[in-house]
């Protein structure tokens, strides 16, 4: 039948912006998932998107097959080097590799959109496009500056001498589904009052009657600005400024968007005081999962890991491919 590999992703900056038509700077990483489909017929694993089906990852395979117009029956192997449920897009990587293994033929953007629909169908979570697009379109040595409104992206090369680290907080993302949908709803409610958040001025949030909506909108508007500044700082090699923007992004996600967790805050605080670290922030949806840090490449790995539940030094990698 076919086999394919998809990387996972880490987001350097720009969270909870994709579903508002905003900006983000994620990168594909050198951890990923391989799907090898040997038969696609009855008699194989009967897959279903039913929420009761276990193991739950089979729902992503089933939903991807359904999006491709196929009956959800398959026999094959799935192997991964990604930690599951850690916010490194193990589910997007599974969907993207499945679609390619089953012969999907189209652009990276088309592949990402199909897999986004599959993820929404498989989980009921109204996720944005960032994870699937990064898995599909990753570029070796670079992060992707993505404009989700215009649906365009370009590579931003990471300067020499820097490293990207991921540190697991030890907390898996249990509340993510309902809270994620609630945050997306708040952004949509704010946009009805002050217009698309991508175009809104920070000052416009003052006119919002509900302080909670104002805080959510303030995060999105300020985060879009930070993404552009961060990309510019990477391009001129001002890593101190880039790191500072990551810490600001974390504070905004913690205080205005309220998607952090005390365990994430502790990792960010510790890394902020660690020699050789430019900056750190929660990455992805939040509510648990991982912190991403930008460091000097000479930094001592043991100092970054601390006693946390998992630590990976990752490299910006190419996107998914058929094998
Ligand atoms: C999850 C979603 C993405 C994005 C992030 C937050 O990873 O799948 O679409 O919204 O959260 O930036």
Is 130 a pocket residue for ligand 1 (Cβ < 6 Å)?
yes
What is the rounded distance in angstroms from the CA atom of residue 306 to the CA atom of residue 323? 37
Backbone angles phi, psi at 218, to 5 degrees: -60, -40
Q: pLDDT value at position 44?
A: 55
Residue 59 has pLDDT above 80, yes or no: yes
Please tell me if the CB atom of residue 131 comes closer than 6 angstroms to any atom of ligand 1.
yes
This prediction's pTM: 0.96
Dihedral (CA of 293, 314, 83, 185) sign? positive
User: What pLDDT is recorded for position 177?
Assistant: 72
Beta carbons within 8 Å of 161's beta carbon, 6+ residues apart: 296, 297, 298
Does the C-beta of 256 come closer than 6 Å to ligand 1? no
Residue 183, pLDDT > 80, answer: yes
Residue 294 to residue 275: CA distance in whole angstroms: 12
Q: What is the mean pLDDT of residues 67-89?
A: 91
Spacing, Cα 163 to ligand 1 middle (Å) = 23
Which has more pLDDT, 50 or 220?
220
Q: Is 284 in the pocket of ligand 1 (CB under 6 A)?
A: yes
Which atom of ligand 1 has the smallest separation from the CA of 180? 11
- The reported pLDDT for the residue numbered 142 is 98
Question: 72 in ligand 1 pocket by Cβ < 6 Å?
Answer: no
Cα 60 to averaged position of ligand 1 atoms, centre (Å): 16
Q: Which of 2, 6, 3 is nearest to 319 (CA)?
A: 6
Interval 11-35 mean pLDDT: 98
214-260 confidence digits (pLDDT tens):
999 999 999 999 999 999 999 999 999 999 999 999 999 999 999 99
Which region among 45-59, 67-81, 170-184, 256-270 has the lowest average model confidence (pLDDT)?
45-59
Ligand 1 within 6 A of 289 CB? no
| Distance (Å) from CA 126 to ligand 1 centroid | 9
More confident residue, 228 or 47: 228
- Residue 17 and residue 284: Cα distance in Å, rounded? 10
Measured CA to CA, the distance from residue 95 to residue 249 in angstroms comes to: 29
Active site residue 298: no
| Residue 42 pLDDT | 59
Question: Which residue's CA is the closest to the ligand 1 atom numbered 9?
Answer: 128
Average pLDDT, the chain: 94
Which ligand 1 atom lies nearest to the CA of residue 87? 7
Residue 21: pLDDT above 70?
yes
Judged against a pLDDT cut of 70, whether residue 46 lies above it is answered with: no
CA of 124 to the centre of ligand 1 (A): 14
Q: Read off the pLDDT of residues 300-322 as tens digits, 9 standing for 90 and up.
A: 999 999 887 899 999 999 999 99
Residue minimizing CA distance to atom 1 of ligand 1: 285
Pocket test for ligand 1, best of 130, 135, 183 (most atoms within 8 A of CB): 130
Active-site choice (15, 18, 131, 256): 131
Contact 263, 66 (CB under 8 A): no
Q: Does the pLDDT at position 173 exceed 80?
A: no
**pLDDT, tens digit (0-9, with 9 covering 90-100), for 160-172:** 999 999 999 999 8
Q: Assess whether the C-beta atom of 16 lies below 6 angstroms from ligand 1.
A: yes
Query: Which pLDDT belongs to residue 178?
Result: 80
Task: Assess whether the C-beta atom of 137 lies below 6 angstroms from ligand 1.
Answer: no
> From ligand 1's centre to the CA of 17, what distance in Å?
8
State phi, psi for 11 to the nearest 5 degrees.
-100, 120
What pLDDT was estimated at residue 253?
98
Interval between CA 131 and ligand 1 midpoint (Å): 7
Task: Give the pLDDT band of residue 53 (cuts 50, 70, 90).
Answer: low
């Amino acid at each position: 039948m076919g086999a394919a590999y998809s990387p996972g992703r880490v987001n350097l900056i720009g969270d909870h912006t994709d579903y508002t038509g905003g900006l983000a700077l994620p990168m594909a990483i050198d951890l990923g998932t391989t799907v090898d489909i040997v038969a696609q017929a009855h008699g194989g694993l009967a897959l279903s998107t039913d929420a009761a089906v276990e193991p739950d990852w089979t729902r992503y395979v089933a939903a991807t097959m359904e999006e491709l117009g196929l009956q959800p029956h398959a026999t094959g192997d799935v192997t991964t080097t990604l930690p599951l449920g850690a916010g490194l897009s193990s589910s997007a990587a599974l969907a993207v590799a499945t679609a390619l293994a089953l012969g999907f033929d189209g652009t990276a953007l088309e592949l990402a959109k199909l897999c986004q629909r599959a993820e929404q169908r498989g989980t009921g979570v109204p996720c944005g496009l960032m994870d699937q697009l990064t898995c599909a379109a990753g570029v070796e040595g670079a992060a992707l500056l993505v404009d989700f409104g215009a649906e365009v992206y370009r590579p931003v090369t990471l300067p020499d001498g820097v490293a990207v680290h991921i540190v697991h907080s030890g907390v898996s993302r249990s509340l993510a589904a309902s809270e994620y949908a609630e945050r997306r709803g708040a952004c949509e409610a704010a946009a009805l009052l002050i217009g698309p958040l991508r175009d809104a001025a920070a000052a416009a949030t003052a006119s919002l009657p509900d302080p909670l909506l104002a805080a959510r909108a303030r995060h999105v508007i300020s985060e879009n600005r930070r993404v552009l500044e961060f990309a510019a700082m990477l391009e001129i090699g001002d890593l101190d400024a880039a790191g500072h923007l990551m810490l600001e992004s974390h504070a905004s996600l913690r205080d205005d968007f309220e998607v952090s967790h005390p365990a994430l805050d502790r990792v960010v605080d510790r890394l902020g005081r660690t020699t050789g670290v430019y900056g750190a922030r929660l990455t992805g949806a939040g509510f648990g999962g991982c912190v991403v840090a930008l460091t000097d490449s000479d930094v001592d790995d043991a100092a970054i890991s601390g006693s946390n539940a998992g630590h990976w030094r990752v490299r910006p990698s190419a996107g998914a491919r058929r094998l």
